[in-house]
Structure 1
Amino acid sequence: MKPRTKFQHKVVEASKSLPELSPAQIRWACTHVIERIGRRTSKGEITCLDCGEVFHNTTSRKRCTCPHCGAKLRIEQTRKLRFEQHDYAAFITACDGLQVIRIFMVDYYAKIGSSPRYYMTEVMQRWIAPDGRFCTLARLRVWGTMYYDSWIYSSDLELRNEAWAYGQIYTDDIYPHIRLIPELKQHGCRKVLRGVNTTDYFIALLVDNRAETLAKIGQEELLRLYLQRDGRNFERYWPSIRIAARNAYTVKDASLWCDYLDMLRELGKDLHSPKYVCPDNLREEHDRYMVKRNRLRAERRKAEQEAFILKCEEAYQQAKARFFGLAFHDGKIRIHVLESVREFFAEGEAMHHCVYWNGYYRKDDSLILSATIDGKRIETVEVSLSQLAVVQSRGVCNKNTSYHARIIDLVNRNMSLIQQRIAA
């Protein structure tokens, strides 16, 4: 893509003046970005692919140190002879008043008996202006691939559209010596924030007052959560963040702290009070108020359920009152009609089935009975009033009991009592 704006023209020209990586930078990328490998055979012999030496090690650990070159190795027990790795390395610098994030692909190839080979190719540059404008220079990528590192190395670094393929590429493997433009330093940037896209981080500091504030007051974890958003509306947390800042309180677990504030808000606590906003032991207070919140929610659900039951009770009484008091037994099993919606709720809770939640008390053609032995519920029976037949009989978790056939037979033998109530 050809440059069209003054900013893009400036970026293209400034890119030509970027220096080659120094030997120290290349050495850092090869030793910190790429994991060095030790191949272990079934006999416990480990070959260091860094220096080629062989040593004996039977430990079950996945990592060890080569006694010959001191390299920290990731052990792979395998018979293969060739190994390769591909990963990103980032270098942050400033050029012509612009912030630059340079992304290199580090390719590593190793073979038993040969020295490892490293190749570094610059695949992308992110240029950020002090006012938050940005653009991307990158090589072409293979479209339609699932691999984010499928670059066409023979292509040129050119202006590319801000598509997902380029905008979401970043790494936490960043060369420790960075150069920042003065504007970023003025907005509170002192170091790179791990775990977030560095481009998004820099732009947020330059254009977002709240990101700048969080950086300047040292709330790193809150800033990380703010940049990730996590579906949270930070507007409701901001007054409490200001209280924490005034009391020199540093939030070490941002997600837990925000969850804690949400519970305090639900419980009606004062979120402008340092007593609540700045707990000495966040996890302990979080768990304590979670118990209170859950208890409050249970009480609310119970009250709502009670109101709903009362609302449905009158209709059930009118529809099925003529069957109330109907009961029969065979000397061991007693079967009786459920006489209230509250009894449906208790039946469903005890038997772990849907007689209440599926609203069987609203079904005009259904008569629900409970079969018990010595007062203990055994099965719940549904009878069709139009067909005068048992539709179903369910025990705990909808399973049949050993009394299933006996219960159905008992209901069928007393179906005339139900018929009499219908005719009455």
Structure 2
Amino acid sequence: MGKKVKTFEQQCIAINNQLKAEPKGETAKAIYRRTMGAYPVYRTWHRKLIHYCSECGGGFEWIGQKECPHCHVKFTDAPRQYQRREVMYHMELEAKGDIQLTRVYRAERWTQYGRKSYTDVWEVGRFFYAPNGERRVFARSVQGLSPYYDAFSRWSPITIRREGRHMSWAAEMRYNLSMNTYHVRSLTQQWKYKNIPELMKEYDNDTSVLRVIAYPWAETLLKTGQEAMFRHMVRNHEIMPKGTEHAFKICSRHHYVINDPTLWMDTIALLKYLHMDTHNPKFVCPEDLRALHQQLLERKWKVDDRRAERARITRMENEMKRKAEQDKKYAEMIENWPKHFGNLLSLNLQSTNLDIRPLQSIDEFKQEGDTMHHCVYAMGYYDYNKKPNCLILSAKDGEGKRLATIEYNTKDFSIVQCRAACNQVPERDEEIRGLINSNTATIKKLVTESIRKSA
């Protein structure tokens, strides 16, 4: 059997396990410290404005000096207000076979009045790039509750981190840091051919360049002068949209330079949406891109309006069909109502100034719900298909005033609920319940007769 080939992720994990996150020595720290530059720092001390050097911390009176009077370091920047800590990210490029490895280091310089600055350098993450542009991120964990996207945890392990389109913009930016300087140890043969060091300098060492340039079409964009499109891809760390490769080739053949990438890509998307020819140079390489985009956009609006109208008509037809089915079902229920309940509708429970009877029709359900202001009709308590064991009773006094609506279960012969107006507890609740429970035998007899009659 042949040897099993490792996947790109497995190769990255193996390489990451071999690497050690060793702290930088004093020589490397001095190099990183020099990249931050030196400048005077001003602050108020005992109500007096003082300046001190960002390197040695020595105080002096600022009169426009170009170097520190104590350590004689040359100032590379104008005076800044009190700043205790500075952070810079640095990058090292190193080849591991066909895989390009990018190691990112975080340099922190601590400055304090009267003390020499202290520099700490530690590794933040490792980015692995495959020849086909695939990327894997190995980094330290980010403090989840921190408002800053680059708040890496100093002592957490460097392990694989997931990223993708499903993540938020802030989560994606955690691993696309702006680098200030870098060191090239080695490059793969493919990246040497693409002049990565020069390209990184041109794009301010943005790590998104490394992700984009790994794809073959990215090199084509640069060679054909499509710098605006390439810069757009780098800025948004995107790959080429699927199905647009032929459009770029048409632009190259006709020497058409895309100066507005976002508008051009939206135009191609509109052409696809409208099922128009994306191989036609008239549309792919327009003389007036903005006018073509507006024309296609207005056409899309008309198409959307027609689709919306068709959808509205379909919804209306479905609603009418559903209503017709409901009306038919409702009519059948009204017709079969007396047959379903049978002798139960003749139930009449009476006592002193109290009369309890079943609701005789669906119209009475509506009257009961409107008068008592509850949901006996709205929630379909009349539907014996959904509620086969439900019998609704109405309790009235001697003058015919409605006192309560009762739901009675004809299967276990129990009162489910007894509600007055607005679902409140009836004033004569105990009396109503007592009258119904005392006539359970009568209700059982009527239920038995109704079942025998329906059979």
Task: Name the larger-Rg structure.
Answer: 2
Taking structure 2 as the reference length, the TM-score comes to 0.46
